[in-house]
């Protein structure tokens, strides 16, 4: 099964509920992620990914992560 690990990140200094974004962290085409490993280790994977992406190192917090079956398209806040 194809799996996508998605992080929902919110900008902490804005205080606006619309200041959250969805980012695809990885998927089955880039790693050997399974749905089970995503559910168990997803938060660890997101933390590592955040530490490697300078834009998300400061002033952003992980609101949640999700493991989506199949190819996932991030939602855009308007």
Question: In which order are the strands placed within the sheet that holds 60-69?
Answer: 20-27, 3-11, 60-69
Partner residues linked to 26 by β-bridges:
5
* Tens digits of pLDDT across the chain (78 residues): 899 999 999 888 755 656 889 999 999 999 999 999 999 999 999 999 999 988 877 788 899 999 999 999 987 654
Gap between the Cα atoms of 15 and 42, Å rounded: 26
Largest CA distance in the chain: 38
Beta pairing partners, 3: 69
Q: Half-sphere exposure of 63 toward its Cβ, with a 13 Å CA cutoff?
A: 13
């Amino acid at each position: 099964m194809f799996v996508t690990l998605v992080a929902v990140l919110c900008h902490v200094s804005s205080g606006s509920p619309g200041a959250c974004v969805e980012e695809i962290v990885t998927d089955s085409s880039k790693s050997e992620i399974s749905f089970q490993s995503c559910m168990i280790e997803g938060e660890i994977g997101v933390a590592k990914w955040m530490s490697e992406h300078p834009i998300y190192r400061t002033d952003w917090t992980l609101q949640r992560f999700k493991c989506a079956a199949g190819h996932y398209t991030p939602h855009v806040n308007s």
